[in-house]
Copies of this chain bind each other. A is one copy, B any other.
Amino acid sequence: MDENLELEERFAELKQALLEDDMQRFREPFLEMHIYEQGQFYQSLTSEERHRMYGYLSPKELADMFDVIEEDDEHMTDYLFEMRPGYAAAMLAEMYTDNAVDLLNTLDKKAVNKYLSLMDKEDASEIKELLHYEDDTAGSIMTTEFVSIVANQTVRSAMYVLKNEADVAETIYYIYVVDQENHLVGVISLRDLIVNEDDTMIQDVMSERVISVHVGDDQEDVAQTFRDYDFLALPVTDYDDHLLGIVTVDDIIDVIDDEAASDYSGLAGVNVEEVSENPVKAASRRLPWLITLLFLGMATATLISHYEELVSEASILAVFISLITGTAGNAGTQSLAVAVRRLAINDDKENSFVKTVVSEILTGLVTGFITGLTIFIIVAIWKHNPILGFVIGMAMMCAITVANLAGSFIPMLMDKLGFDPAVASGPFITTLSDLTSVLIYFNIASLFMQYFIA
């Protein structure tokens, strides 16, 4: 609380300095703040106030702050476009390449080319290289600001290189060792550099078993490697083991967050990352799924309509429609979530397809049997009609088993076909399971019809 208050006061003073156009009073307290707080302050300003800031700060100083502003901020492009193009280009050049690329990726081609043409050739070509990598690959999240050295030098001279690059490198806590052709041959942590004697040769203390990722690797696999090994950074190589860049742990946290949000969105049938307070906008994001599922639901309605005669003879059947579809839908959702999760953590996907589906069917039979037995007892007592109870219980068991089959089979199949299994949404599975549940229910009911009608 105190800290927040202190920060608010600081923000107020800085705004006052901006208002009075007092550059001296602005710069020092501003630059003293952590870059994240600088970003918070910047994002709280009006366009006019921001313009003043551009006059006060060097492109490098602004770039440090822009490095921590999330690139999915909706005002990001406004910020860039309100700067003089030359200033914006200089700032982009000073940012860490991976962040500059993320930012440029939100712009259209014309704007990107404009900024690139205003930069040094060297800066522009570094950025251009990274712009090429496909979304969601190691290449798309790596940066080129790393420290690399050759092996036949001493710890002392390596430390010297490090001191010189400490200002521009995104991390100096791992130093990568390359040969003459830039092949990655080793790695040494700053911790190891520090504890070794100055005259030790790098080749004697570096680790030659370097864990690295390929530039085309899926970013989720890269995140898994970070989780497994607890690294702070990982080197990225091409397929001939040339060192191209590094991925740092802060970018991996973003990947993990995005991954979690997309799994969650899939299960809910709505993109939770595009949340809007505007009801019309929010509705427009949810309607595509809802309307699609409405048409799938129409299939269920059509099916029931075939059994309308049955219902008019035995209206008691209508009482249990929503209970059976609802319970089967719940079971299907559970199955789906387990299958998607298993796909996410399982490396050995090949052998588990049949195993998972069979295990889900068996689980469905067990849950279905117990749930079916429960409802059989309830209905038999409530409606004094054990045959009806048997019909409902039997339908429940079959519907749950089929829902479990669908809930596991569909995401597994999507994964096999190369799609993200998480897009098989919960609402889709429940709506599909409504259809199969109704089909099962009315078929069983018509078989036993003659016995349970009074």
Contact = CB atoms under 8 A, between A and B. Distances in A.
Contacts of A355: 277
Number of copies: 2
A340 to B, nearest CB: 8
Contact of A337 (B195, B272, B287): B272
Interface string A430-452: 11001000100000000000000
Contact of A263 (B260, B273, B311, B434): B260
A110 interface: no
Contact of A330 (B290, B367, B371): B290
Interface in A219-260: 226-230, 232, 249-250, 252-253, 256-257, 259-260
Contacts of A267: 264, 267-268, 337, 426
Given A298-B378, A330-B290, A367-B290, A315 B311 contact: yes
A79 interface: no
A109 interface: no
A150 interface: no
B291 A374 contact: yes
> Which of A34, A286, A305, A308 has its CB near the most chain B CB atoms (within 10 A)?
A286
B300 A322 contact: yes
A201 interface: no
A319 interface: yes
Interface size class, chain A: 35 or more
Given A33-B209, A172-B191, A326-B434, A341 B291 contact: no
Nearest to A272: B341
Contacts of A301: 319-320, 322-323
Contacts of A318: 304, 308, 311, 315, 317-318, 321
Contacts of A159: 194
Given A264-B337, A304-B322, 10 more contacts: A163-B194, A172-B191, A261-B341, A263-B264, A264-B267, A268-B338, A269-B333, A279-B359, A289-B334, A321-B322
Interface of A: 32-34, 36, 68, 159, 162-163, 166-167, 172-173, 190-191, 194-195, 209, 211, 226-230, 232, 249-250, 252-253, 256-257, 259-261, 263-265, 267-270, 272-273, 275, 277, 279-280, 282-283, 286-287, 289-291, 293-294, 297-298, 300-301, 304-305, 308-309, 311-312, 315-323, 325-327, 329-331, 333-334, 336-338, 341-342, 355, 359, 362-363, 365-367, 370-371, 374-375, 378, 426-427, 430-431, 434, 438
